[in-house]
Chain A
């Protein structure tokens, strides 16, 4: 016990730093998590650096120099598409949109899911019941069918794709957050806060939210790959905006322009593998994060 005057704020900061360091150590101990993180880092760097690595003019159809669906060569390491553009350039640029849509949709879904989850768990009553039923309802809807129907009605653009994906993927988070909220709620310190006169807002933001946040982070990491997969599926089904390049839309163009019949594997494999790698990397990170925040999972290894 020291008697020096440490401000409560500094104390809190030190404690946070400590727990962060503990989590990082726990995360680092997991090999798959580290592999996923490195993979993810590489992909994000490539996506961000795409404009530097490949000029945007590589996406121009009027300036394309390659042959029609030409196999890989020195000039085009991954071959060309039906207009003579480099598949490598398309895949690199496609990563930007796929990641952007995946991340944005996840953020939207997580925000909705967390807000509904915390409020329904904390406030409860008839509001909690309605919110829960609403999330149940969204959960049992077949997500791809709903997404297709919504896109058909709302029209195709990046914004609607994001909205639609967020709309069909928030209920999982709600469930998770609500359960955690109920656990936190029954702890004595919350009773103490209540006794000291803390309002709903204060309780939710200062006490409950920090406690559910780690869980939210883990579930978000696992939500991104499913969002990316959904975007790719929708784009592959021809429901994306065909004027922008994403991995799904590359696959859509490939299959529509007969790459399957022409056995043009270089047109189909790069975007497909890219989706696979990103999904895998996110899954690995998510699993590791889950293990960090849920000590019961750690003992298993």
Chain B
């Protein structure tokens, strides 16, 4: 074949491709801006659904669909997370704290029109007690339940083995309809709950296409009034940058999980409001101070130096948390002390006199005094002159923030004469190694709820594993301190909020000074929405609160009202960038292709 003819053909194909790519890019925003009769609230997401079974779900996306589809007896207030009437209008705790009587709201209907009664509530709590799989999944709460009864349609009585006032009122048990669930052969199965879901909340899940969208329709019968939007759709975007471009183009209404650069880009958009709210999430480092089982069997292969609190404190002292907040988060967060973020003022402990200040010289002195002498290569060794202080440091491979933090920590800790071997690994593999104790330092992070018991409970002796195979994952860090446990039992039953807060702070202080974990920072929630389409969204908490990470009830989506929409003319800048990129890519492709064709054509002659 004549190579020149081939070249010409390839070039014309490339040109055609380029043109059509450009045309598509220009046409896309116009096509999406179609007139809808229904008001749709579009939220960008990237997380797949684990299960629609509200008793077993673990992901954020299904937490959101659960608090929208179903309701709890008490819902968490928008102002301050305090429990307020939900399905129950009133409640009463018995003298001994073991019997709770709830009055169920009258006139509430399920989304299919059936009435919601105390029988449904009793059925739901009954599942927690009697269905073995559901019971096990919620063992920390369900293990304390003795009985759930409905003497009449408006009264629900819950009996407990031990008093747990905070748990009863803040634990989210999503009340499900008995007339639907009793027909399920196995209510504990992942796929038990069939779409469309029937619930009593403001929106119900009706449709889900993996990787495409997740649709919830408004419940016109909702007892607190019908929501402003007719439907809420979670739209899937694999990249946050794509979601940002979609928000700029008006194709999506709410985007969260933004980084500082994206926030900056969005702030210049007239139709976008950026919300930079204090978050509930902490990022921490788990130090392997020795993994043990309930009966004291040690397992794993953590570095012996990390068993020494002096080394752990020295590592802690050589971290400038403020610098991490400033650089990694661009200031959108707060340096952390212990495990309750500062958003929960009443529980948060500020470090007091024990606060560790960044001081590399002091950290070096601590290690010198403890006998960790520097070897010839500048790396310290154990006091007996044996093993070098070389720590494996695992971080999540897909998290650039963590990679940057690793850069900082490596530089600081190298100044201490400690060698860091950082390795990025997948989240699943990282968790496996962490629970097997086969690590020295690893990243961790949790979103904290308004009830501190759950987070603190992960550090008690009673959740230590019984096996050494890493399959039991209730203990965050093999931490076991009887003093801490005693405080924990006390705070669980303490009904005076001030006294309970004092106990919770003492627990945090113990964790902080023992340093099994170093808390780095509390991350802000960075989110943005299109205020030309949405107004009146209620944030949680009231003062500088968040829109997307709400707890206990979806206040924001329930209160959101559609604004009079206006269509903006003109082609946004990103379209031209996309066209230019497409042209460059196509041209490069054509060049490579032509060179390749030429080469093979020549060889074949």
Q: Is A205 an interface residue (CB 8 A)?
A: no
A13-21, A87-95, A99-107, A258-266: which lies at the B interface? A258-266
- Contact residues, B236-288 vs A (CB, 8 A): 240-241, 244-245, 258-262, 264-266
Bound Cα distance from A262 to B261, whole angstroms: 5
B422: chain A residues within 8 A (beta carbon): 243
When C-beta atoms are compared, the residue in chain B nearest to A179 turns out to be: B603
- Contact residues, B318-375 vs A (CB, 8 A): 323, 327, 330
When C-beta atoms are compared, the residue in chain A nearest to B403 turns out to be: A242
The residue that A261 contacts in the complex, of B262, B397, B403, B410, with Cβ under 8 A, is B262
Chain A 217-259, CB within 8 Å of chain B: the 1/0 string?
Answer: 0000000000000000000001101110000000011011111
- Contact residues, B383-416 vs A (CB, 8 A): 397-398, 400, 403-404, 406-408, 410-412
The residue that B407 contacts in the complex, of A61, A69, A155, with Cβ under 8 A, is A61
User: Contact between B411 and A261 (Cβ–Cβ < 8 Å)?
Assistant: no
The residue that A62 contacts in the complex, of B400, B412, B426, with Cβ under 8 A, is B412
User: Contact between A238 and B398 (Cβ–Cβ < 8 Å)?
Assistant: yes
Whether A262 contacts B403 in the complex (CB less than 8 A), given A61-B411, A297-B602, comes out as no
B408: chain A residues within 8 A (beta carbon): 61-62
Whether A155 contacts B425 in the complex (CB less than 8 A), given A261-B262, A262-B261, comes out as yes
Bound Cα distance from A69 to B602, whole angstroms: 47
Q: Is A287 an interface residue (CB 8 A)?
A: yes
Q: Is B536 an interface residue (CB 8 A)?
A: no
Q: Is A83 an interface residue (CB 8 A)?
A: yes
Q: Is B605 an interface residue (CB 8 A)?
A: yes
* Distance of A280 from chain B, by nearest CB (Å): 9
Bound Cα distance from A261 to B411, whole angstroms: 30
Whether A261 contacts B245 in the complex (CB less than 8 A), given A238-B397, A287-B595, A296-B605, comes out as yes
The residue that B595 contacts in the complex, of A83, A243, A283, with Cβ under 8 A, is A283
User: Contact between A156 and B261 (Cβ–Cβ < 8 Å)?
Assistant: no
B261: chain A residues within 8 A (beta carbon): 69, 82, 257-259, 261-262, 264
Bound Cα distance from A62 to B240, whole angstroms: 28
Q: Is A31 an interface residue (CB 8 A)?
A: no
Q: Is B209 an interface residue (CB 8 A)?
A: no
- Contact residues, A118-168 vs B (CB, 8 A): 152, 155-157
Bound Cα distance from A258 to B261, whole angstroms: 5
User: Contact between A152 and B260 (Cβ–Cβ < 8 Å)?
Assistant: no
* Distance of B427 from chain A, by nearest CB (Å): 12
When C-beta atoms are compared, the residue in chain A nearest to B415 turns out to be: A62
Whether A60 contacts B265 in the complex (CB less than 8 A), given A238-B398, A257-B259, A258-B259, comes out as no
* Distance of A283 from chain B, by nearest CB (Å): 7
* Distance of A285 from chain B, by nearest CB (Å): 13
Q: Is B147 an interface residue (CB 8 A)?
A: no
When C-beta atoms are compared, the residue in chain A nearest to B588 turns out to be: A276
Q: Is B83 an interface residue (CB 8 A)?
A: no
When C-beta atoms are compared, the residue in chain A nearest to B602 turns out to be: A297
Q: Is A117 an interface residue (CB 8 A)?
A: no
User: Contact between B407 and A243 (Cβ–Cβ < 8 Å)?
Assistant: yes
B262: chain A residues within 8 A (beta carbon): 258, 261-262
* Distance of A177 from chain B, by nearest CB (Å): 14
User: Contact between B602 and A61 (Cβ–Cβ < 8 Å)?
Assistant: no
When C-beta atoms are compared, the residue in chain A nearest to B265 turns out to be: A261
User: Contact between A60 and B424 (Cβ–Cβ < 8 Å)?
Assistant: no
Q: Is B423 an interface residue (CB 8 A)?
A: yes
Bound Cα distance from A300 to B599, whole angstroms: 12
* Distance of A213 from chain B, by nearest CB (Å): 18
**Count of interface residues, chain B, beta-carbon cutoff 8 Å:** 38
Bound Cα distance from A261 to B572, whole angstroms: 13
User: Contact between A62 and B245 (Cβ–Cβ < 8 Å)?
Assistant: no
Q: Is A68 an interface residue (CB 8 A)?
A: yes
Bound Cα distance from A290 to B599, whole angstroms: 10
B425: chain A residues within 8 A (beta carbon): 155-156
Interface centre among A60, A253, A257 (most CB of B within 10 A): A257
Bound Cα distance from A224 to B422, whole angstroms: 29
| Interface SS of A by simple majority | loop
| Interface SS of B by simple majority | helix
The residue that B423 contacts in the complex, of A69, A155, A258, with Cβ under 8 A, is A155
Chain B 433-466, CB within 8 Å of chain A: the 1/0 string?
Answer: 0000000000000000000000000000000000
Q: Is A84 an interface residue (CB 8 A)?
A: yes
Bound Cα distance from A242 to B261, whole angstroms: 20
User: Contact between A242 and B245 (Cβ–Cβ < 8 Å)?
Assistant: no
Chain A 38-72, CB within 8 Å of chain B: the 1/0 string?
Answer: 00000000000000000000001110000011000
Bound Cα distance from A239 to B398, whole angstroms: 9
Bound Cα distance from A263 to B580, whole angstroms: 14
* Distance of B552 from chain A, by nearest CB (Å): 31
* Distance of A53 from chain B, by nearest CB (Å): 22
User: Contact between B265 and A262 (Cβ–Cβ < 8 Å)?
Assistant: yes
Bound Cα distance from A154 to B47, whole angstroms: 26
User: Contact between A82 and B404 (Cβ–Cβ < 8 Å)?
Assistant: yes
Whether A243 contacts B424 in the complex (CB less than 8 A), given A262-B264, A263-B265, comes out as yes
User: Contact between B265 and A243 (Cβ–Cβ < 8 Å)?
Assistant: no
Bound Cα distance from A152 to B595, whole angstroms: 33
A300: chain B residues within 8 A (beta carbon): 602
Chain A 184-221, CB within 8 Å of chain B: the 1/0 string?
Answer: 00000000000000000000000000000000000000
Bound Cα distance from A157 to B426, whole angstroms: 13
* Distance of B401 from chain A, by nearest CB (Å): 8
Bound Cα distance from A62 to B410, whole angstroms: 10
When C-beta atoms are compared, the residue in chain A nearest to B264 turns out to be: A262
When C-beta atoms are compared, the residue in chain B nearest to A83 turns out to be: B327
A82: chain B residues within 8 A (beta carbon): 260-261, 327, 330, 404
User: Contact between A258 and B260 (Cβ–Cβ < 8 Å)?
Assistant: yes
* Distance of A164 from chain B, by nearest CB (Å): 15
When C-beta atoms are compared, the residue in chain B nearest to A157 turns out to be: B423
A261: chain B residues within 8 A (beta carbon): 241, 244-245, 261-262, 265-266
When C-beta atoms are compared, the residue in chain A nearest to B395 turns out to be: A242
Whether A242 contacts B411 in the complex (CB less than 8 A), given A258-B265, A263-B265, comes out as no
When C-beta atoms are compared, the residue in chain B nearest to A255 turns out to be: B241
When C-beta atoms are compared, the residue in chain A nearest to B429 turns out to be: A155
Bound Cα distance from A69 to B261, whole angstroms: 8
When C-beta atoms are compared, the residue in chain B nearest to A226 turns out to be: B592
The residue that A68 contacts in the complex, of B245, B266, B330, B599, with Cβ under 8 A, is B330
Bound Cα distance from A24 to B599, whole angstroms: 22
User: Contact between B244 and A242 (Cβ–Cβ < 8 Å)?
Assistant: no
* Distance of A290 from chain B, by nearest CB (Å): 8
* Distance of A21 from chain B, by nearest CB (Å): 26
A68: chain B residues within 8 A (beta carbon): 260, 327, 330
User: Contact between B400 and A61 (Cβ–Cβ < 8 Å)?
Assistant: no
Bound Cα distance from A38 to B398, whole angstroms: 38
* Distance of A299 from chain B, by nearest CB (Å): 11
User: Contact between A243 and B400 (Cβ–Cβ < 8 Å)?
Assistant: no
Bound Cα distance from A252 to B241, whole angstroms: 13
User: Contact between A61 and B397 (Cβ–Cβ < 8 Å)?
Assistant: no
Bound Cα distance from A95 to B406, whole angstroms: 22
User: Contact between B259 and A152 (Cβ–Cβ < 8 Å)?
Assistant: no
| Chain B residues close to A by CB (< 8 Å) | 240-241, 244-245, 258-262, 264-266, 323, 327, 330, 397-398, 400, 403-404, 406-408, 410-412, 422-426, 573, 577, 588, 595, 599, 602, 605
User: Can you add 16 more A-B contacts, CB < 8 Å, to A68-B260, A68-B330, A242-B397?
Assistant: A82-B327, A83-B327, A83-B404, A157-B423, A238-B397, A242-B403, A243-B424, A257-B400, A258-B258, A258-B260, A260-B241, A261-B261, A263-B577, A287-B595, A296-B605, A297-B602
**Could you list 25 examples of A-B contacts with CB < 8 Å?**
A61-B404, A62-B408, A62-B411, A82-B327, A83-B404, A156-B424, A238-B397, A242-B403, A243-B422, A253-B403, A256-B259, A258-B240, A258-B258, A258-B259, A258-B265, A261-B241, A261-B245, A263-B265, A263-B573, A264-B261, A276-B588, A283-B595, A287-B599, A290-B599, A296-B602
The list of the 6 closest CB pairs from A to B, nearest first, reads A258-B261, A262-B261, A256-B400, A242-B403, A261-B265, A258-B262
